[in-house]
A and B are shown apart, each in its own frame.
Chain A
């Protein structure tokens, strides 16, 4: 057991931290929130040069060949700084291709992803808003060598700028919900696809994607017909851990900013950080951060080692969701009125805590998975 980052991970951390501090100031974050695209192409290209989109892609497809754990190390830094754009959607959507893609699909797409030429996202949720298979109603009907997709997907992050959309569809109504799901790799330019950005708390460009008689060739199926749900579960698991890593970074910034401010802000002739009422809240913020941290690191390690970790991923996500929201809330409260203004950095984090909670499954969704894993019948 050695719970320190490796030397290579420390280098990755420092590089990411320095890069983001220079290239992604909060002025840019706010600008991108208000922009239509929600990401900076210039920044995206620089990230590609650093190999971020191809971090977990094997070297033979022009990636870096790093581990999942390395990815979480990077995401902790993007969370610490805040990095708007399609990094997480693209990286998480890469996993189904790696896992279930044909050699042709891999050779075609993976190098382009690694080079930053292709953005991918996943269209999973629908009107009901559940992360369970029962919520998938979008229908894919076979027709010759193609499938025709009809339905409306919601909350597909950055779909409006994506080149490909991984679309989770229902291909069988007569089986249990999990057994009739098929995943398609869809070119976003295909006729019949319409995309609209949903205004949301983190302005992270979650989209409604409407599929109206969209023709997709059979060869674009990822995995096997009707057997797509385990791939979705894998994405949700990796996505949940990835999002937790990002949240840990954000939580750390909230704690650091709050402690620093409390040492500067003077009321009643002393820094407000001298008051025990505030000190104990900050101690609790730190405690909840640190208890989250090693829960997440353990899940990331297990995922990276290929160990079964559905339980650990859900334990971590259910726990960290609540910690991030609470630490974010206290960061606003302890800063006082100043941190309620749009131009302050703290609310950038606070608003993202709600988005992070929902992404890849909210607290109650993951608690139910935990309940099953610990043997409640």
Chain B
């Protein structure tokens, strides 16, 4: 067992961190929390700028086959994620680069790969995910939005919701019912569509903190070319499952928390309450140390997943475990940091806010990771049913 990176990997990691550090210097002050990417115009502009910076270095196609412009290795993806997370840099479209691209590489036809991979690698096209519906959340396969084939087109009707950044994105990948008569799981098709298609209406949903990272998307006779599907018609469920496996590494969030832990330590070392530094309070020392332990445990299992993925082995149980663990650690972190800040724990980004209001933001933003990407309760089902072999709920 060997945790050592190769000399080449170390050199790549150093370069990833250097570039991200440099980009951090250009980050707008309004960029607080990851969802700011979608919420604030100058943050979205910054996202697009970072994407171009990464694309010109080939970093949006790490680990891809060379015939599609790939560079580097799967391990480079992990090291790059560490750097982006630690310096909190957007520019990496999680829907296009992290989720759709590997799905296309495994499941799409050559013509689809040729058409869509290159713009993703160049950082030119931003994607959104069109999965959940008002009445189909965790039980996604009960969705009702339809795509009915007519000639060489699908005609889409219905509603999707909780679509992150749909109001900013150029294209979307969605799952639609293409055969209303067929049985569950064999009636869905995975479709790629241009968000500017007539008949598509996008409305941002106000989030609890006043921002709007998520949208609802309405389809009213939207015509989409029938060739833009991934996998076979009516067999989109398999593609959904494949794609879902690319969502859960968590390295970005984990490394972002490492940075936040450093900020928390600094805050405790500099802030006096009741005549002494917070850092001298044994209870605070104990709780900060506990967070540090949990954070290191989260990173350790993320490396375990990377190790499996490097050898093209499945990491289903570990990925679910990692997702549960890092997202709930995010909740604990937000609760604890806002506790430590005392009355300042409620202050939004302003001159009164500690760490630019990141903790107050985290207190509200922590649900993004626990609920999305397969709610943690679903992840626990995955571990129990497919990992531990416990009887499945009917």
CA distance A3 to B304 in the complex (A): 7
How near does chain A come to B102, taking the closest CB pair, in angstroms? 20
Pick from A111-119, A221-229, A270-278 the stretch touching chain B.
A270-278
Q: A280-B384, A287-B383, A377-B279 are in contact. Are A2 and B307 (CB under 8 A)?
A: yes
Q: At the interface, is chain B mostly helix, strand, loop or mixed?
A: helix
Whether A376 pairs with B285 at a CB distance below 8 angstroms is yes
Whether B289 pairs with A318 at a CB distance below 8 angstroms is yes
Q: Does A290 contact B (CB under 8 A)?
A: yes
Interface string of A341-377 (1 = CB under 8 A from B): 0000000000000000000000010011011001111
Residue of B277, B307, B317 near A377 (CB, 8 A) is: B277
Interface string of A314-351 (1 = CB under 8 A from B): 01101100000000000000000000000000000000
Pick from B1-9, B59-67, B229-237 the stretch touching chain A.
B1-9
Q: Does B390 contact A (CB under 8 A)?
A: yes
Q: A318-B289, A319-B297, A364-B286 are in contact. Are A279 and B269 (CB under 8 A)?
A: no
Residue of A1, A262, A293, A316 near B3 (CB, 8 A) is: A1
Interface positions, chain B 262-295, Cβ under 8 Å from A, are 262, 265, 268-269, 277, 279-280, 282, 285-286, 288-290, 292-294
Q: Report chain B residues within 8 Å CB of A274.
A: 390-391, 393
Q: A282-B388, A368-B286 are in contact. Are A294 and B2 (CB under 8 A)?
A: no
Give chain A's interface residue range (CB within 8 Å of chain B).
35 or more
Interface positions, chain B 1-57, Cβ under 8 Å from A, are 1-5, 9
Pick from A4-12, A102-110, A204-212 the stretch touching chain B.
A4-12
Q: Report chain A residues within 8 Å CB of B2.
A: 1-3, 301
Whether A3 pairs with B293 at a CB distance below 8 angstroms is no
B contact residues vs A (CB 8 Å cutoff): 1-5, 9, 75, 261-262, 265, 268-269, 277, 279-280, 282, 285-286, 288-290, 292-294, 296-298, 300-301, 303-304, 306-307, 310, 317-318, 320-322, 324-325, 377, 379-381, 383-385, 387-391, 393
| Beyond known contacts A290-B304, A367-B293, A376-B268: 13 more, CB 8 A cutoff | A2-B2, A3-B3, A69-B1, A263-B391, A279-B381, A282-B383, A284-B380, A287-B324, A291-B294, A315-B296, A318-B289, A319-B293, A370-B289
- In the complex, 18 of the A-B residue pairs with CB atoms within 8 angstroms, ordered by the A residue number, are A1-B307, A2-B2, A3-B303, A6-B1, A262-B390, A274-B390, A279-B385, A282-B384, A283-B380, A284-B324, A290-B318, A297-B1, A301-B2, A315-B296, A319-B293, A370-B292, A371-B289, A376-B279
